Homo-oligomer: A and B are copies of this chain.
Amino acid sequence: MLDIRIETTTTPKELPKADNPLKFGTIFTDHMFVMNYETGKGWHDARIVPYQPISLEPSAMVFHYGQEMFEGLKAYKAEDGRVLLFRPDKNIERANKTNRRICIPEIPDEDFLQALKAIVKMDEAWIPTKQGTSLYIRPFIIATDPFLGVRPADTYLFIIILSPVGAYYPEGLNPVKIWIEDEYVRAVKGGIGEAKTGGNYVASLKSQVKAHEEGYSQVLWLDGVERKYIEEVGAMNIFFKINGTIVTPKLNGSILPGVTRDSVINLCKTWGLPVEERRVSIDEIYEAHKSGTLEEVFGTGTAAVISPVGQLRWEDHIMKVKDGGIGEYSQKFYDTITGIQLGRLEDKFNWTVEVK
């Protein structure tokens, strides 16, 4: 059990108005959770303090050697007023897996969960209630030693900030256009691809800019070795429905193990829908599209939950999926997962965790 010291803000901000579209990741709540690490002392000084700037030495290791990790999950206000987190245990498990990969000291699972609940409870009033909105939770850890040598740091800050976010699709599910990248690579086996750390995102920027210029909203990555197996989208995992079977790339070390991905796979199993985690080549997708068996494509991620894909572009080939519309299963996964998140549907899997 953490002993969390609480310092309440004396200058609370105004809550966003109900009609505020809440652009993702721009508005932050009144407080943040902070905890320090120091070699020899371990994680200590857990506290909730007013949301405020961080002051670091210019030589702080995070500015130079990228030793930083983050997570992303959401809190929802159910119709009956309960505050629900969606599968926080999975984010905590992934956080510590990231920590191990990049030599950041782990945070005990129960302390991590306690911190999440405490900060969400503190700023509960900030959870928006309009259809599709939620409170985005961003835990992150940064290396703070004022030292220019390359080695794991001895001091860290663990911080949780909260941001009320709007509906990803204000007018309901909206298919996206995806660019299949064949020049740049995001990650490779043996690297840090399965860790949620800045280095993977900075590697994606150039390709993302190129895709945007061509009118595509996201990039789909191919593997870094053979450049033919499908990995994942910029901030989503990817699923295909081919000839009645749901197919997604298996976790191979270079893909982020998404929580939403895992939820979709679990739903398939309960529904008796055939689901395969395996290698998927771009040629297979191209052939399936040509022969008319590529029935649906969708991305999965915390931000949008399910993103139907209406179009894929690979080299000079443009593949329209479902005529650019929304697939039946994309809609069904979306409705089911958001239904559970909002406490509207029965939570058979015990995925939601109430913040009391």
Binding site for B on A (CB under 8 A): 24-26, 28, 32, 51-60, 62-68, 70, 101-103, 136, 138, 140, 142, 146-152, 159, 161, 163, 183-192, 197-206, 208-209, 224-225, 227, 234-235
Known: A148-B136, A189-B185. Contact between A67 and B205, CB under 8 A? yes
Number of copies: 2
Describe A's contact surface by its main secondary structure. loop
Known: A147-B26, A191-B188, A206-B103. Contact between A58 and B54, CB under 8 A? yes
Shortest beta-carbon distance, A69 to chain B, in Å? Answer: 9
Shortest beta-carbon distance, A46 to chain B, in Å? Answer: 16
The complex places the Cα of A338 from the Cα of B199 at a distance, in Å, of 34
Q: Which residue of B lies closest to A202 (CB)?
A: B66
Residue from B65, B68, B183 in contact with A190 in the complex, judged by beta carbons closer than 8 Å: B183
Residue from B28, B102, B235 in contact with A202 in the complex, judged by beta carbons closer than 8 Å: B102
Q: Quick check: A58 and B64 within 8 Å, CB to CB?
A: no
What B residues does A101 contact at CB under 8 A?
A: 206
The complex places the Cα of A70 from the Cα of B66 at a distance, in Å, of 11
Residue from B26, B55, B187 in contact with A54 in the complex, judged by beta carbons closer than 8 Å: B55
Q: Quick check: B58 and A53 within 8 Å, CB to CB?
A: yes
What B residues does A70 contact at CB under 8 A?
A: 63-64
What B residues does A67 contact at CB under 8 A?
A: 198, 201-202, 205
Q: Which residue of B lies closest to A235 (CB)?
A: B150
